[in-house]
């Protein structure tokens, strides 16, 4: 299962609606859930995860991946029965060192900086795309 731990409050209606369009298309093990927490409690929540959870931090200074690379990286732990947790910071999005050390991957969408709420939509779409790539369906046009 995929969990997304996001700093800040739940998004505006239009964003929830857009994200849910991708969520409806997901099938096991790519099914995802959202966990919204206060930014101050984000690190604490992530550091309590079990050691076998595959943790991906989204950070503008992270590694840039293409969609097939992301699909391979998250499919492996999912099909091995491990949970995958994506962590999005809030509006200021900086992570403490212990959280960065815990991450299996620090990932950047782009060299561009996006509002954290838009990142939620991009992430939902990329998880759906990863599923489609893994299953060999034509959604992704390489």
| The pLDDT value given to residue 126 | 97
- Mean pLDDT, all residues of the chain: 92
| The pLDDT value given to residue 89 | 84
**Mean pLDDT (whole number) for 99-108:** 95
Tokens (6 digits) for 56: 């991906």
Residue 102 has pLDDT above 80, yes or no: yes
Helix axes of 13-23 and 116-134: crossing angle, nearest 10 degrees: 10
Q: Smallest Cα–Cα separation from 84: which of 43, 131, 29, 18?
A: 29
**Mean pLDDT (whole number) for 6-27:** 89
Residue 10 has pLDDT above 80, yes or no: no
Sorted by where each begins, the domain ranges of the chain are 2-134
Tokens (6 digits) for 57: 């931090």
Q: Name the residue with tokens 């930014």.
A: 39
Residue 93 has pLDDT above 70, yes or no: no
| The pLDDT value given to residue 29 | 94
The percentage of the chain sitting over the pLDDT mark of 70, rounded to a whole number, equals 98
**Mean pLDDT (whole number) for 44-49:** 94
CATH class of segment(s) 2-134: alpha beta
| The pLDDT value given to residue 92 | 67
pLDDT band at 115 (very low <50, low <70, confident <90, very high): confident
Alpha-carbon gap, residue 32 to 97, rounded angstroms: 26
**Mean pLDDT (whole number) for 6-34:** 90
Residue 3 has pLDDT above 90, yes or no: yes
């Amino acid at each position: 299962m995929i969990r997304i731990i996001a700093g800040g409050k739940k998004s505006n209606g239009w964003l929830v609606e857009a994200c849910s369009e991708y969520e409806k298309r997901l099938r096991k093990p790519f099914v995802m859930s959202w966990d919204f927490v206060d930014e101050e409690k984000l690190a604490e929540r992530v550091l309590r995860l079990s050691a076998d959870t595959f943790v991906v931090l989204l950070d503008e200074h992270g590694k840039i991946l293409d969609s097939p690379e992301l699909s391979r990286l998250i499919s492996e732990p999912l099909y091995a029965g491990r949970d995958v947790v994506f962590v999005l910071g809030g509006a200021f999005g900086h992570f403490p060192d212990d959280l960065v050390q815990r991450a299996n991957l620090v990932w950047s969408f782009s060299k561009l900086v996006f509002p954290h709420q838009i990142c939620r939509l991009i992430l939902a779409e990329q998880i759906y795309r990863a599923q489609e790539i893994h299953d060999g369906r034509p959604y992704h046009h390489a």
